Structure 1
Amino acid sequence: MVKQTEFANKKVLVLGAGVSGISVACILRNLGAAVTLSDAKPAGQLGKDFSALQSAGIVLALGNQQAELLHGVEYLVLSPGISIYIPLVAAAREQGITVMSEVEVAYRLSEAPIVAITGTNGKTTTTTLVGEMLKTTGREVAVGGNIGAALSEQALAVKPDGILVAEISSFQLEGVVNFRPHIAAVLNITPDHLDRHRTMDIYQRMKEQIFNKQQAADYIILNYDDPVVRDMAKRAAGKAVYFSLTQSLAAGAFVEDGNVRISWNGKKTDICAVSDIKIKGGHNIENALAACAIGYFAGVRPEAMAAILKTFAGVEHRLEFVAEIDGVAYYNDSKGTNPESSIKALKAFDEQIILIAGGRDKNTDLTEFMQVAKEKTAHVILLGEAQQRFAEAAARQDIKNVHQVFSFDEAVTLAHSVAQPPQVVLLSPACASYDMFDNYEQRGKAFKDLVHRLVSLKP
């Protein structure tokens, strides 16, 4: 295929030996590139067997990353965890080396059209919903990016008449160059990752990279209820389509008379009743609206959208029901990695909540989070690096029954001891996981394992 020849016989340096970095290094090597895979951590700290990569001819440069690594390099490819602000990236740009993210590589390799979804919260649920909806069209569908397999891997897997659905983070958008999805969506923008992006303005600009290369034949799906996102239409070349939970729209996807509706070219189409949507919480209605808007322009039939919305039970680690013990339900929301996401999780329940929160602090404002926690929780259990700042923020809101613990085991055991039916125990950390875990998935699994252990101990 023509697109795949771009990297043949080129010298490529891939930064970051995580899942995406290893995948794209292998792909580029298979396409004939001379590939070096580098990570700032030495091999002993990475805990991986790199022998297969070395056998494939990939050069490893692990540990200290010196400017000499750039000698003769034509492409510098960044894994999502590697910031564009590191000195090696600055040096590469000074030398005229093309810097791109793994997502940009995927775009250059894909023969299929791309649907790309970003936003601070709701990306995984919306992307998964869209993937399930698109499968009903009979086309081959591949889903990847910030969810599941590396996007470059999925780009090669899907045929030209299929479709590639991508969850895209702000980290991945830092290094896009020509990335042009046929349908893009921005779900919402709230403070997140400011430890990396530095300011909200930069964070927003990174998100807007998802549609910056679109053309008039493309679509950009925007949240009408978020003023920052709604304003993005002014800078978009593609057709702007809104979705709204609160407004009836002349054109777009919205809720009216208790139904999910789409209006386009003067025609209104009912999808299903809001009450028929299986996933819990108002924020998930927003996700469903976004998915329907995307699905509509990707050729999904309304009745197929409805069937998916009525049966889709949600994604792992996002308001995931784990078990019920003595009348108390336990929910895993490990994907709640910022306050806004955890606010939505708290608001999804009518019952009083035993909340487990804390982790790697992103230094985001906690005022609204703690105000909602005061209203919704019976106990707040804090752990991780952020626990002291969270405890101080809770005290400012005069939240009662705040506990600080030092391990996940202690947190779950304490939650179990204080919870009374019909309360629920909710893990929704409002923090990253990196102080105690490799990722939010590992954190969620640890929580579920501890809950299942409690179930097994029941007489």
Structure 2
Amino acid sequence: MVKHTEFINKKILVLGAGISGISVAYILRQLGAEVTLSDAKSADHFTNDFTQLLSAGVVLSLGNQSEELLADMNYLVLSPGISIYIPLVAKARERGITVMSEVEVAYRLSDAPVVAITGTNGKTTTTTLVGEILRTTGRKVAVGGNIGAALSEQALVADTDGFLVAEISSFQLEGVIQFRPRIAAILNITPDHLDRHRTMQIYQQMKEQVFVNQQAGDYLILNYDDSIVREMAARAPGKVVYFSRQQALESGIYVEEETIRLKWEGKIIDICKVSDIKIKGGHNVENALAACAVGYFAGAKPEKMADVLKSFPGVEHRIEPVAELAGVPYFNDSKATNPESSIKALEAFPGHIILIAGGRDKNTDLTDFMKLAKEQVDHLILLGEAQLRFAEAAAARGITAIHKVNSFQEAVMLAHRLAKPPQVVLLSPACASYDMFNNYEERGRTFKELVHRLVP
């Protein structure tokens, strides 16, 4: 197809040698492009095996990134971890080089209609749920993006009559151009990644990039209960469908009489009882509402959606049960990389939480987080670069049982010594992981390994 020939014989510079960068560099090379993969980090910072890339003919440039890399380039492709604000991007644009994200490349390669999920929190759970729901249609479904495999890799797997389901971060939306999901969902917007986007206005603008290219026949699923998200409808070119956990809607999908109910164009469909949803917590009800809205407009049958909601166990690293030791359950919520996400985790328990938090500080507002921690948390164990600021915010809120530790292992051991029924031990950092780990997955796996070592 034409979209698969766009990059043939083009000279492409890919920035960022992470999962997405490696995948897109290899794919573009396989499609006939001349590809250079560059990263500002030197070779000794990587444990990756670049043999396959080099064998395919990808040029590897690690270390100092000078403007010379841009010579004769047609495209500059950004991995999600690479900010669009760096000087090299500005230089590329001055030279007339097309700058795009890896997600934009994936869109241009995809034969399948794209379903995109974004928002500050709940993206991974909702995207995974959507994938499971769409598989009940019998059509081939590929899932990627900010979850699991790079989206460009999954784009080549999805069939024309299937779906490409994408979890999309604000970072990935910085460099979209033509990206047009046939169905898009925005779950919520709360302060996050302000260290990169600088202002809430810019962060919101990046999120809105998910729908700017939609057309009249496309669908945009919006959270009615989030005022910022609700007001995006005014700028939406597609059909807006609201979901609400808090009130019955004239049109959309909502909770009424403890039932997930869909009302659209004269039809009223009950999908299942809220109590039937296997994953617990109010935030997961919202995720289920959004997933069902996507599923319905993609052609999934309501009874099949109900079956998925009743059996879906949740995703790894999101309030994931790990073990129960001496009557105390341990939960891995490493995916909570901002305070709002940790708030949702705290709300999922009745209290008596021993909370492990901290990591790379995003400098987000801690007021609501610490207010809830004062009510819910018996002991607050803090570590990482954010430790001091978190400790000060906790003390200002009147939290007295604050423990500062120097290592992840020390945090888990201390939690184990402190914990007694009916308490729970919860890792929900409210921070990024990069000060101590490569990503939140590594942090979560480390937590689980340390907990399992405690098993007598």
State the TM-score bracket (shorter-chain normalisation).
Answer: over 0.9
What is the CA–CA distance in structure 2 between the aligned matches of 1:295 and 1:48, rounded to whole Å?
A: 37
Normalising to structure 2: TM-score of the pair?
A: 0.99
TM-score normalised over the length of structure 1: 0.99
Shift of 1:159: 1.2
- Classify the secondary structure of the residue corresponding to 2:334: coil
Query: Does 2:231 match 1:210?
Result: no
The alpha carbon displacement at 1:351 in A equals 3.6
Q: Which amino acid aligns with 1:6?
A: E
Which residue number in structure 2 is paired with residue 122 of structure 1? 122
1:275 matched to which residue of 2? 275
For the residue of structure 2 that corresponds to 1:157, the secondary structure is coil
1:420 is matched with: 420
* Pairwise CA distance, 1:454: 0.4
**What's 1:72 paired with?**
72
Q: 1: distance between equivalents of 2:356 and 2:306?
A: 34
| Counterpart AA for 1:208 | E
**Paired position in structure 2 for 1:258:** 258
Within 2, Cα distance between the matches of 1:11 and 1:189? 37
1:148 deviation in Å? 0.7
Residue 285 (structure 2) pairs with residue 285 (structure 1): yes
> Per-residue displacement from partner, 1:61-94 (whole Å, max 9, x unpaired)?
1100000100000000000000000000000011
Letter in structure 2 aligned against 1:331: F
Q: Deviations over 1:131-187 (max 9, x none)?
A: 000000000000000001000000001111111000000000000000000000000
The equivalent residue for 2:227 is: 227
Return the alpha-carbon distance in structure 2 between the equivalents of residues 199 and 363 of structure 1.
Answer: 12
Cα distance, 1:212 vs. partner? 0.4
Matched, 1:384 2:379: no
Residue in 2 that maps onto 1:106? 106
Paired residue for 1:244? 244
Q: Secondary structure at the match of 1:85?
A: coil
| Aligned-pair CA distance for 1:51 | 2.3
Q: CA offsets, 1:336-382, max 9 Å, x none?
A: 00000000000000141000000000000101100000000110000
Matching residue of 1:327: 327
Residues 93-138 of structure 1 deviation map (CA, whole Å, 9 limit, x = unaligned): 1111000000000000001000000000000000000000000000
Structure 2: runs of 5+ lacking an equivalent: none
SS state of the match for residue 64, structure 2?
coil
Q: Could you say what the CA RMSD is over the residues aligned between the two structures, in angstroms? A: 0.6
- Residue 56 of structure 1 and its aligned partner are, at CA, apart by 0.9
- Equivalence for 1:157: 157
What does the per-residue CA deviation read over 1:207-228, in whole Å, with 9 as the maximum and x for residues that have no partner? 0000000000100000000000
Residue-by-residue CA offset, 1:304-338 (whole Å, 9 max, x unaligned): 01000011110000000000000000000000000
Partner of 1:394: 394
Structure 2 CA distance for aligned equivalents of residues 398 and 161 of structure 1:
57
SS in 2 for 1:434: coil
Corresponding letter in the other structure for 1:430: A
CA deviation after TM superposition for structure 1 residue 422, in Å: 1.3
| Alpha-carbon separation, structure 2, partners of 1:40 and 1:65 | 6
Say whether residues 1:436 and 2:421 are aligned partners.
no
Q: Distance in 2 between matches of 1:112 and 1:53?
A: 26
Q: Distance in 1 between matches of 2:427 and 2:55?
A: 42
Report how far residue 50 of structure 1 moved: 1.6
Alignment partners' CA distance in 1, 2:186 and 2:307 = 24
Aligned-residue offset at 1:48: 2.1
The residue type equivalent to 1:214 in the other structure is Q
Aligned to 1:317: 317
Identity %: 74
1:353 aligns with 2:353: yes
Report the secondary structure of 1:125's partner residue: helix
Paired residue type of 1:276: D
How many Å apart are 1:429 and its aligned residue? 0.1
**Structure 2 counterpart of 1:308:** 308
Contact 2:225 2:246 survives alignment (8 Å): yes
Compute the displacement of 1:55 (Å). Answer: 1.4
Counterpart residue type for residue 322 of structure 1: V
Q: Which residue of 2 aligns with 1:10?
A: 10
Secondary structure at the aligned position of 1:115 is classed as strand
Q: State the AA in 2 paired with 1:273.
A: K
1:392-433 superposed Cα distances (whole Å, 9 cap, x missing partner): 000000102110001111101100111110110000000000
Deviations 1:180-204 (A, max 9, x none): 0000000000000000000000000
Deviations 1:221-247 (A, max 9, x none): 000000000000000000000000001
Separation in 2, partners of 1:447, 1:45: 23
- What are the Cα deviations for residues 233-276 of structure 1, in whole angstroms up to 9, with x where unaligned? 00000000000000101111100011000000011100000011
Counterpart of 2:67 in structure 1: which amino acid? A
SS in 2 for 1:323: strand
1:179 aligns with 2:213: no
CA distance in 2, matches of 1:62, 1:412: 36
5+ unaligned residues in a row in structure 1: which ranges?
A: none
- Following superposition, the deviation at residue 2 of structure 1 comes to 1.8
Counterpart amino acid of residue 304 in structure 1: K
Paired residue type of 1:183: I
Equivalent residue letter for 2:214: Q
Amino acid at match of 2:63: G
Aligned to 2:138: 138
Tell whether the 8 Å contact from 2:70 to 2:92 is kept in structure 1 after alignment: yes
The match for 2:59 is: 59
Structure 1 counterpart of 2:155, one-letter code? A
Distance 2:159 2:245 in 1: 35
Give distance in 1, aligned partners of 2:49 and 2:351.
47
Indicate the residue corresponding to 2:367 in structure 1.
Answer: 367
Question: One-letter code of the match for 1:10?
Answer: K
| Rounded Cα–Cα distance in structure 1 between residues aligned with 2:52 and 2:263 | 52
3-state SS in 2 of match to 1:260: strand
Question: Secondary structure of the residue that 2:454 maps to in structure 1?
Answer: helix
> Structure 1 residue runs of 4+, over 6 Å off?
none
1:104 alignment partner, SS class:
helix
The alpha-carbon deviation at position 47 of structure 1 amounts to 2.2
* In 1, Cα distance between equivalents of 2:130 and 2:445: 25
Three-state SS of the structure 2 residue aligned to 1:181 is coil
SS of residue in 1 equivalent to 2:410: helix
The alignment partner of 1:243 has SS state of strand
Aligned match of 2:453 = 453
Total equivalences in the alignment: 456
CA distance in 2, matches of 1:152, 1:121: 23
Confirm or deny: 8 A CA contact 2:351 2:375 kept in the other structure. no
